[in-house]
Amino acid sequence: MQDSKAIVIGTGMGGLAIAIRLALKGYQVEVFEKNSYPGGKLSAFEKDGFRFDAGPSLFTQPQNVEELFALAGEPIDQYFSYQSVPIANKYFYENGKQVNAYTNAEDFAQEMKLQLNEDPKVVIKYLQQSKKLYENIGLLFLNYSLHRAKTWLNSRVFKALSTVKLPYLFQTLHQYNSAKFSSPEAVQLFNRFATYNGSSPYKTPAMLSLIPHLEQNQGTYYPKGGMISITNALYQLAINKGVKFHFDSPVQRIIHSKGSVSGVVVNDQVFSAKTVVSNADVYFTYKNLLSNPVLAKKVLQQERSSSAVIFYWGIKKKFNQLELHNIFFSKEYKNEFDYIFKEGKLTADPTVYINITAKLEPNQSPEGKENWFVMVNAPANIGQDWEELKKVLRENILLKLSRMLGEDISELIETEHTLDPILIEQQTSSFMGSLYGTSSNSKFAAFLRHANFTSAIKGLYFCGGSVHPGGGIPLCLKSAKIVSDLIE
């Protein structure tokens, strides 16, 4: 029966998760993916003996993954395993200072005292406030649809809103952090969390001070086999629950009439279903799949999030001073974000993030070598000359890292691959290469994100990073749960 059929477009984290949830509800689920592999941004590749996670490299809130296996009645350890990481990030500053951001709050507070002369009590209090904000406001915003009246008619809303302080709404994250910490290094460290949803700390509201709770309070983790193992685990779980996948099968059109969805067209063939979930970028869903340029343009009224340029480097040496996650800060942080969001350019002094999975799994690279995932935040693609920008950026990164690590990094690069906003859009259908859809560079951004459904077309739903509640692995998994609840 058509009523028991559901179609999912795309196999990103949200797509895999909603496919599993719908299968567990008794739906016959078919998933259509334009690529030859599942995972969307969460993919991987190997080059010259070095293995690289292609996309997201930070794993937090493993409970979102565990929940799917618990719902399915499947032992997660047969699919997936992970370990906690004691240092969330190692931070390097141009003035020579270094900070190990321990995931134990007391250890982190003492490190901030030792390296930056910050009062440990202030650090602990900040993290406690971050936790309180997340547990009251964050869970409301992230776990429920903001576009249904019954969400706002629940008593939990009034309790949550009573905890909101004016600074969270009317100060930027930078202003908030500047009032909390005495050193510019500490302010910069906590400002960085705005980049977790592709925003600027100088524009995004202080409400985003809830993000450090995920990393510094709840902890950071590493999945065995790299981040791709999350994709592989969910894909296998979905198959075991009867989900049918079609790869190399881009959806041409979503069929709807008289205000209801009835299926999709793939390779000129009609697949019928009264429930369709698009895990594709919501802009492309409207523009290409629904042939509705007016609503597609409406999506673009919100500022796009940042994108990224990534260099995957096989390094023929081990660096003992580096951890799994490393941040080399720019000296002029505000200038970096002005370039990204105002100029659409890359600064000559970018903040550089390096992820090295070989630190925890030596088999991810040849013996005595390391696999460097080197990323900088970049503007969304508006037609820039990315080949020229990458060429200049590469030199600036190498100069910066060589200076701060005391060694010529260019001489150590054994193999190389790059990713830029144009390729991100081509490979993942993220419009303009924006990693998180829209930015949160306004106090109303959370409310302006596209809903997980549309009242115009019954049976059509949206999940993934371009809609509520936002981008990143935890939020994409939460979007699938929201959609599942809506379909109930």
| Domain boundaries of the chain, sorted by first residue | 2-42+227-303+437-487
Cα 196 from Cα 214, distance rounded (Å): 11
Q: What is the pLDDT at residue 1? A: 43
- Side-chain-side CA neighbours of 376 within 13 Å: the count stands at 32
Please compute the mean of the pLDDT values over residues 112-120 and round it to a whole number.
98
Cα 216 from Cα 336, distance rounded (Å): 25
Strand partners, 273: none
**Beta strands 269-272 and 44-47: pairing type?**
unpaired
Q: Per mean pLDDT, which range of 159-168, 191-200, 337-346, 416-425 is the poorest? A: 159-168
Q: How far is CA 18 from CA 29, 30, 243, 256, in A?
A: 10, 11, 11, 21
Q: What percent of the chain has pLDDT over 90?
A: 85
Q: Residues 264-302: pLDDT tens digits?
A: 999 999 999 999 999 999 999 999 999 999 999 988 888
Closest by CA position to 97, among listed 110, 109, 114, 122: 114
b/e map of 144-163 (b: 16 or more CB within 10 Å)? bbbbeeeeeeeeeeeebeee
Cα 45 from Cα 37, distance rounded (Å): 11
What is the CATH code of the structural domain delimited by 2-42+227-303+437-487?
A: 3.50.50.60
* 219 vs 170, more confident: 219
* 371 vs 134, more confident: 371
Whether pTM > 0.85 for this model: the answer is yes
Which conformational region is residue 61 in: left (phi greater than 0), alpha (psi within -120 to 50 degrees), or beta?
Answer: left
Please compute the mean of the pLDDT values over residues 331-349 and round it to a whole number.
97
């949550």: which residue's tokens? 160
Please compute the mean of the pLDDT values over residues 118-139 and round it to a whole number.
92
Cα 209 from Cα 177, distance rounded (Å): 8
Model confidence band, residue 141 (pLDDT cutoffs 50, 70, 90): confident
Q: What is the pLDDT at residue 51? A: 98
